[in-house]
Amino acid sequence: MSAAETVASSVRKGVPAITLAGVNKWFGALHVLRDVNLEVAMGERVVVCGPSGSGKSTLIRCINRLEEHQEGQIIVDGKELSNDIRSLDAIRREVGMVFQSFNLFPHLTILENCTLAPIWVRKMPKKEAEALAMEYLERVRIPEQAGKYPGQLSGGQQQRVAIARALCMKPKIMLFDEPTSALDPEMIKEVLDTMVMLAETGMTMICVTHEMGFARTVADRVVFMDRGEIVEQGVPEELFANPRTDRLKTFLSQIL
Ligand code: ADP
Ligand code: MG
């Protein structure tokens, strides 16, 4: 089936949250995404795992156009990613992203970090944005930190703020790129608990993570990438218990 036919057939089934069809990406001569086909339904939780350098970050960065792909189609919330700036803004508003290195603005308070985009991008009145931010800070269980600066918070708290900040844009889809891998072990659980809570709200999520306990708890599907390819995918229990390829067997033996 051609990429266009794949897209056409997915549209017939109802608009999925995210469709990648025949996606290829190169950095110079380096082929980092090789014919990637992936469809994520609204409300689905997908965990992406794979060795370092396999293209996981590039994959999710392409989904909100932090990187450009060169071949194939990426459709997010019914809109195809293109170089049209307006369509790009529309897509970014629907897609929240949480990075490994929290990326909070250090010179803004926690509350200001959370209200900046709603005020400037969504044009929300300040009072409304603040009320919304407090609601999400309560949901990630740190409302008392609202007046502090990122540097005054622990890594785990900063990452929970980063999640709250993304949620303040009321995204339809959340992308996570190894959100716990920069954290000390004692802080990993609080961030994973926050992500589990988010999953329970029905949020559509793609999470790059090697936290296989998390994958077992919330993932509808685990996608294993290696050298730019989706090598295997399936429901967590099945994939972990019965890896079909040597590449996944080797990977699992290293992380489990
Ligand atoms: P992962 O997240 O699975 O560790 P990445 O998507 O970060 O993998 O990287 C995939 C490959 O692309 C790696 O070989 C990496 O070195 C390379 N790469 C990533 N970003 C860039 C970039 N901006 N320029 C050139 N090469 C890059
Ligand atoms: Mg990465």
Report the alpha-carbon distance of residue 80 to residue 69 in Å, rounded.
12
Per residue in 35-65, pLDDT (tens digit) is 999 999 999 999 999 999 999 999 999 999 9
Q: Apex CA 229: angle with CA 224 and CA 230, to 5°?
A: 35
Ligand 1 atom closest to residue 59's alpha carbon, by position in its atom list: 6
pLDDT in tens, 213-223: 999 999 999 99
Q: 74 with 131: CB under 8 angstroms?
A: no
The Cα 195–Cα 148 span in angstroms is 23
Look up residue 12 and give its amino acid. R
Ligand whose nearest atom lies closest to the CA of 100 = 2
Q: How far is the CA of 102 from the centre of ligand 2 (A)?
A: 14
CB of 29 within 6 A of ligand 1: the answer is no
Whether 209 is in the pocket of ligand 1, judged by its Cβ within 6 Å, is no
Q: Is the pLDDT confidence value at 7 over 60?
A: no
106-115 average pLDDT score: 98
Residue nearest to atom 12 of ligand 1 (CA): 32
Instruction: Report the SS3 class of residue 208.
Output: strand
One-letter identity of residue 56: K
Instruction: Using pLDDT thresholds of 50, 70 and 90, give the confidence band for residue 87.
Output: confident
Q: In testing the pocket of ligand 1, which one of 31, 48, 58 has its CB within 8 Å of the most ligand atoms?
A: 58
Q: Is the CB of 72 under 6 A from ligand 1?
A: no
DSSP conformation class of 153: S
Does ligand 1 lie within 6 Å of residue 27's CB atom?
A: yes
Ligand 1 centroid, distance to 26 Cα (angstroms): 10
Identify which of 23, 25, 30 to mutate to test ligand 1's pocket (most ligand atoms within 8 A of the CB): 30
Chain-wide mean pLDDT for the chain? Answer: 92
Task: Looking at the CA of residue 177, tell me the nearest atom of ligand 1.
Answer: 2
Ligand 1 atom closest to the Cα of residue 61 is 6
Sign of CA dihedral 67, 78, 116, 59: negative
Mutate to test the pocket of ligand 1, among 24, 33, 52, 57 (most ligand atoms within 8 A of CB): 57
**For the segment 181-239, what is each residue's pLDDT rounded down to a tens digit?**
999 999 999 999 999 999 999 999 999 999 999 999 999 999 999 999 999 999 999 99
Closest CA to 15 of 170, 166, 171, 204: 204
Cβ–ligand 1 distance for 53 under 6 Å, the answer yes
CA of 55 to the centre of ligand 1 (A): 6
- Pick the residue whose CA is nearest to atom 14 on ligand 1: 53
The ligand whose atoms approach the alpha carbon of 32 most closely is: 1
